[in-house]
Structure 1
Amino acid sequence: MSISVIDSASGMNRVLTANTKDRADLIRDMWAPMAGMYQFIPGGVDMATVHQQNFGFCPDSAIEQVREGLESLVAADAWARIEKALEYGVAALSSADPGVTIPDLNVLLVLGDPTSKHFVDEVQGISGFGGISGYIAITVWPTCRVLDRLEAIAVHELHHNVRYSPGGVVWNPQKVTVGEHVVSEGLADVFASELYGDAGYTHFVREETRSDDRVLAKVASGLGVTGMADFASWVLGDSSARLLGAAPVGLPTGAGYAAGARLVRAYLDATGTTAAHSVRTPASDILHIALPRLGLTPDAAH
């Protein structure tokens, strides 16, 4: 397998130094290697729109701020660090589960929109997507916390990517459950923590959310919800749900990550295994063991 970390430093620099009218096309060029993520959509998609949907920086605002952000990423050696982390993560997954499929990876790191209050404040400068085999997109605003966690962010998305690669878990957009999404976030965070300690845990989740039994119980009550339309509500929380046009259900930001980590930890403690070894384990198997150990009914997952 190969890891191709796209030279988006050069790509972003071209965008930032171009005439305003040319910037959208240059963003499309930068995202072009990721177009395979959308091969299932007839005619494809506009990659400039994908950039925007991933909280990418605007081509016509806060340009000086974005230039400074790019300088920070370059100074932090972000691209080389991410590549090295992915190599480390691949080795860990392959060792734990020798039969696992590791796809060739296209990896894109881009700067987010510093003018987006939700992106900067609510999700604290990170948006990752690794759920389509062979592609990882990471959007960041380079705060000290984000820069400290670059490796953990990368391997979190890697765990998702391998889980949903051939031979792993099948993600059916119509039939997939909140339970699968919650478990996948928990597995990815715990996997990152196996490699990088406490930095592995997604940082926009508040500490009080991680230990709140009411949050856990509320998320558990929605584990059987099917279809992706409500995932923002149950996994990301009310703020993201409102932004994405979904109905809030009364959960704080990152509630699904917090609940997922607790569920996965309960499962791993009971079975003596690891998140790396469990990359292909069905969510139903994890929930069947984890829910009773946390005082919750297994029926919550169905």
Structure 2
Amino acid sequence: MTISIIESGAAMRRMAECGKETWGAAVEDLWAPMAGMYHFVPGDPDLVAVHAQNFGFGPDAPTGTVHQAVDSLEQADAWGRIEGALTEGLDRLAAANPTMTMPDLTVLLVLGDPLNKHFMEEIRGLSAFGGISGYIALTVWPTDEILERLEAIALHELHHNVRYSPGGVVWDPGTVTVGEHVVSEGLADSFAAETYGGRGYAHFVSEETRRDDGVLARVVEGLDVTGMQNFGAWVLGDSTAELFGGTPVGLPTGAGYAAGVRIVDAYLAETGGSAADAATVPSADILAVALPRLGMHRSDE
């Protein structure tokens, strides 16, 4: 198991300083080690588009603001803390899943766009992706809240990465369900919480949403929905879905995370295991145990 943390601080400073005519080349330099994450895309991935899709900061972000944000990450030892958390997390997951080969990881920490209201306010400075084996991208804005949660954010994405690595669960875009996505978010948050307590849970999900039985019931109604283009509202909530052209379903931000944690908690309470133990358990098995315990039933039952 090797963990390669991209030294992105200097690259982001260069991006902040360059003009728009050289912006694209600077973005490509930053993201080049992550290109393999898009191995399924025909031809070479458009890394400038990838950066934007991940809420990365743009050429119009104030130079001084970007420099200050990089300073904040450096002063917080963000890269070192993330590497330490991933090392510990891989050890835990390997011990719980001895027949699996843990992935080698390439990890990019990049600043998000301080001018993007949805990124800064609705999802509170965090957009991360770890669902492609071997790669983790963490887009953040270094608020106190984010800096406090850095290790937990890394562990959340690590759980996804191991779950969808060879020998784990297969994510088939044509057949995957909202249920799989919801369960995976619940497992990832629970895995982080097993080490970091309350810091493990996604901070952009309100306590009201976490406790709301109506939110849980509505998410359960969508568990069998397929088609990844339909997942946004059920998992991330209506606001994010609408941002990307999706159809709202009447759910608040992070609804799928909140429901996922409740589902996983019910499963783990029944089985006595941990989120590390359940890293490769099919979502159908988890739902079959958890939903009756929660007094919930899938729409086709």
Deviation at 1:17, TM superposition (A): 2.4
The residue that corresponds to 1:37 in the other structure is 37
- Does the C-alpha gap of structure 1 residues 25 and 301 become closer, same or farther in structure 2, counting only changes over 3 Å? farther
Q: Could you tell me how far apart the structure 2 residues matched to 1:300 and 1:6 are?
A: 44
Contact between 2:17 and 2:63, CA under 8 Å: does it hold in 1? no
How far does the alpha carbon of each residue in 1:97-129 deviate from its partner, in whole angstroms, 9 at most, with x for none? 212231110000000000100000000000010
The DSSP-based 3-state class of the residue aligned with 1:60 is: coil
The residue that corresponds to 1:268 in the other structure is 268
Map of 1:173-212 to 2, 5 A cutoff? Answer: 173-212=173-212
Deviation at 1:301, TM superposition (A): 7.3
How far does the alpha carbon of each residue in 1:248-299 deviate from its partner, in whole angstroms, 9 at most, with x for none? 00000000000000000000000000000100000000000000000011x3
The residue that corresponds to 1:18 in the other structure is 18
Q: Could you tell me how far apart the structure 2 residues matched to 1:153 and 1:230 are?
A: 25
Q: Could you tell me how far apart the structure 2 residues matched to 1:247 and 1:241 are?
A: 6
The residue that corresponds to 1:159 in the other structure is 159
The DSSP-based 3-state class of the residue aligned with 1:26 is: helix
How far does the alpha carbon of each residue in 1:15-37 deviate from its partner, in whole angstroms, 9 at most, with x for none? 12233321221111100000001
- Which is further off, 43-52 or 277-286? 43-52
How far does the alpha carbon of each residue in 1:129-152 deviate from its partner, in whole angstroms, 9 at most, with x for none? 000000000000000000000000
Q: Could you tell me how far apart the structure 1 residues matched to 2:26 and 2:261 are?
A: 39
Letter matched to residue 118 of structure 1: H
Map of 1:70-219 to 2, 5 A cutoff? Answer: 70-219=70-219
Q: Could you tell me how far apart the structure 2 residues matched to 1:129 and 1:122 are?
A: 17
Q: Could you tell me how far apart the structure 1 residues matched to 2:282 and 2:131 are?
A: 15
Listed as ranges, the gaps of 5+ residues in structure 1 are: none
Q: Could you tell me how far apart the structure 2 residues matched to 1:276 and 1:61 are?
A: 39
The residue that corresponds to 1:244 in the other structure is 244
Q: Could you tell me how far apart the structure 1 residues matched to 2:166 and 2:65 are?
A: 41
Contact between 1:24 and 1:59, CA under 8 Å: does it hold in 2? no
Contact between 1:55 and 1:113, CA under 8 Å: does it hold in 2? yes
The DSSP-based 3-state class of the residue aligned with 2:70 is: helix
Letter matched to residue 166 of structure 2: P
Deviation at 1:13, TM superposition (A): 1.4
Listed as ranges, the gaps of 5+ residues in structure 2 are: none
How far does the alpha carbon of each residue in 1:71-93 deviate from its partner, in whole angstroms, 9 at most, with x for none? 11111110000000000100111
The residue that corresponds to 1:3 in the other structure is 3
Q: Could you tell me how far apart the structure 1 residues matched to 2:59 and 2:105 are?
A: 27
TM-score of the superposed pair, with normalisation by structure 1: 0.98
How far does the alpha carbon of each residue in 1:41-100 deviate from its partner, in whole angstroms, 9 at most, with x for none? 111211011000000000233222112111111111100000000001001111112122
Moved over 6 A (4+): none
Please, what is the CA RMSD of the aligned residues? 1.0
Q: Could you tell me how far apart the structure 2 residues matched to 1:40 and 1:242 are?
A: 26
